[in-house]
Structure 1
Amino acid sequence: MEQLADALLERSNGNYRGWGDVVKFAACTAARIGEVSGVRVADIDTSTWTWTVRRQTTPSPGGLVDKGTKGKRARKVPIIAEVRELVLDRIAAADRDPAARLFTGPRGGRISTAVLRDATHWDEVVTKLGYEHLRRHDLRHTGLTWMADAGVPLHVLRKIAGHGSLTTTQRYLHPDRDAIAAAGTALSAHLTGSWSQTGPKLKAV
């Protein structure tokens, strides 16, 4: 993620660190780019390190506007240690104004996935890095997969993602090869222990 953020920053002439911050924050919170654009200073609780997701930026006939989240409900998302310094820097840059946006474009404007793409030459950068199929929305996908691989329960992931059902959340999750191998090892250990103590027990299905 650091490599991607640095490459996007470099391609945009390195004159606005905000693009890299947006990418890292989106991935580490499993949020949509529009939701990142909608963050206000008041939405961040640095005592519990949580973000209350209340709104998102979306395109409209008159330009970019803010409206409620996709699920129409506010939700809380953890802010992990790796991006806390970044968040504190942006709060300070906003003079701690509760109504100020935490993430904006270089001129203070709203951000959308298209704005991020064009400003950073996204398609060119990800292709050069060998991730030609990586989309901006995949940052959210990546964050949810990281959380799943870290052992976050599915029902908690659903709350963090703001999904209406577990089925929707499951579509984002793709355990890596190590996680799958670990599952097999755990099952073998469980069965070996059970068999050695009581013999094999099969349940009818």
Structure 2
Amino acid sequence: MSRPKPTAHTSPVLGIDLSSDVEYRPNRAKPYRARVRWNDPHTGERRSRSEQHENTERAAEWIDAMQRAAAGGIDPSAATMKLSEYGDANMSFALRGVESKTTDPYLAGWRKRVVPTLGHIPVRMITNGAVDRAVHGWIADEHSMSTIKNSLAVLVRVMEQAVRDGVIERNPARVTGWQYAFRQAEDELDDPRSLALPDLRTLTRLTDALVARSASEYEGWGDVVKFAACTAARIGEVSGCRVKDINTLDWTWNVRRQTTTAPGGLVDKGTKGKRARRVPLIEEIRDLVQRRIALTDGSPDARLFTGPRGGRITTAVLRNATSWDEVVTKLGYEHLRRHDLRHTGLTWMADAGVPVHHLQKIAGHASLSTTQRYLHPDHQSVTDAGAMLSRHLRRSPSGPQLRSV
């Protein structure tokens, strides 16, 4: 991908004279329109920018900011640009000094993550909180650490250019702590039980709502969600599942690959732990599995789950196709991410009494301490454990006694 060229209007022109006015427009949520007008020094064209505000004070503050920007040599258009527009116009300045081998992943991060998440917001309205939420959204979408790092790096550079241009006073993209949040997501969370759906009925309500909200009411979206929750699998692993991985004799799934993003697009690679694992297919999803197998072309290598056009599924594709955020919020589970389907399945298995070492193998956890977070050692279970120990000791045959000294 070639480096973008700067547009003509990015050259600073000192001392542009602005005329301004505030117009009251009744019956509007923001009735005060603040406007600035000026003559373009390059073309002589009469240009203007305007913005709606709740009151005259906010309108006056906006006009003042535009006048300060113009006095500092900033085109007033740049001072009110959305992030996507400003970045595209100034990317060559923002990437000065970046090695050519780094340019492509930076621009990919800009195009695929920064612009869809933050591009609609004016540069001056980008806050540290907005960037922080964007980064955590990328983590929730299970992007790799390097992908998130590159996306954040290009955003930092674009916002740093905005600082140099005087559009903003400080760079809000310099967020910290996201690496810790990434490692938490990698190792599961401190309290994953709190993110689990309560029961199968709730899961069914969710799948039905997601299917109903999708553009074509594609039943496959519901199948993906139900399968992921009932197998405690990641969405990428569900996408990577082939017919040959399913054993309908003992009803198990050999999880050995996942679909993930790569510089050239989506690719299939080994599971996160680099080890295959077997997962039980419970009775509640066996009809679903047989139906999905029947929908394939009969090839052992056919994908069990695809999009409506046969494409591979990612957590981001699932979110966009089903309006996930809107649906879960309406159902009262606004915290729910796609990865929480995995937390749901592991929590259900733990509550069903699956021994922790078996649960560790099903989850594919490298550390037993990660699996133990899904256990629920409430007061009753602790009391029951004591009673079990007492019964065991009462049954034990008498052995040699220690002599007192």
Fold conserved between structures, TM > 0.5: yes
Aligned to 2:337: 135
CA distance in 2, matches of 1:51, 1:134: 25
Larger RCO: Structure 1 or Structure 2 (Cα < 8 Å, ≥ 6 residues apart)? Answer: 1
Give 1:4-19 correspondences, 5 Å limit.
4-13=206-215, 15-19=217-221
Does the CA contact (< 8 Å) of 2:225 and 2:341 recur in 1?
yes
Q: From 363, 366, 378, give the equivalent of 1:180.
A: 378
In structure 1, what is the Cα distance between the partners aligned to 2:209 and 2:382? 38
* Equivalent in the alignment of 1:83: 285
- CA distance 1:182–1:104, shift in 2 (3 Å): same
Aligned pair partner of 2:324 in 113, 118, 122: 122
Which runs of 5 or more structure 1 residues have no equivalent in the other structure? 195-205
Structure 2 residue 333 is the aligned partner of structure 1 residue 145: no
Q: How far did residue 16 of structure 1 move?
A: 0.7
Aligned to 1:44: 246
Deviations 1:164-196 (A, max 9, x none): 11012223x153xxx7253155257558979xx
Residues 96 and 133 of structure 1: is their aligned pair in 2 closer, same or farther, counting only changes over 3 Å? Answer: same
Question: Could you tell me which residue of structure 2 aligns to residue 64 of structure 1?
Answer: 266
Identity %: 72
2:360 corresponds to: 158
The whole-number CA distance in structure 1 between the counterparts of 2:214 and 2:275 is: 35
Per-residue Cα deviation, 1:153-173 (whole angstroms, up to 9, x for no partner) = 1111111011111012223x1
Structure 1 pair 187–105 and aligned structure 2 pair: CA distance change class (3 A): same
Match in the other structure for 1:35: 237
CA distance in 2, matches of 1:166, 1:188: 23
Shift, 1:14, TM fit: 5.1
Amino acid at match of 1:168: T
Count of aligned pairs: 191
TM-score, normalising length: structure 2: 0.45
User: What residue number does 1:105 align with?
Assistant: 307
Counterpart-to-counterpart distance in 2, 1:2 and 1:181: 31
Deviations 1:38-68 (A, max 9, x none): 0000000000100000100011122111100
Q: Counterpart of 1:64 in structure 2: which amino acid?
A: L
CA deviations 1:58-95 (Å, max 9, x no partner) are 11122111100001011100000000000000001113
33 and 189 in structure 1: CA distance in 2 versus 1, 3 angstrom threshold = same
In structure 1, distance between residues paired with 2:255 and 2:269 = 11
Aligned partners of 2:216 and 2:204: how far apart in 1? 14
In 1: Cα distance, 2:307 partner to 2:207 partner: 15
**Structure 1 CA distance, aligned partners of 2:390 and 2:255?**
46
Larger Rg: 2
Any idea what the Cα deviations from partners look like across 1:123-150, whole Å, max 9, x if unmatched?
Answer: 1100000000011000000100000000
What one-letter code is carried by the residue in structure 1 that aligns with 2:331?
Answer: L
Q: Distance in 2 between matches of 1:166 and 1:59?
A: 28
Identify unmatched segments of 5+ residues in structure 2.
1-202, 393-405
Q: Distance in 2 between matches of 1:17 and 1:65?
A: 24
Range with bigger deviation, 69-78 or 185-194: 185-194
Q: Distance in 2 between matches of 1:14 and 1:108?
A: 14
Distance 1:86-1:184 versus aligned 2 partners, 3 A rule: same
Amino acid of the structure 2 residue aligned with 1:39: C
CA distance in 2, matches of 1:114, 1:152: 31
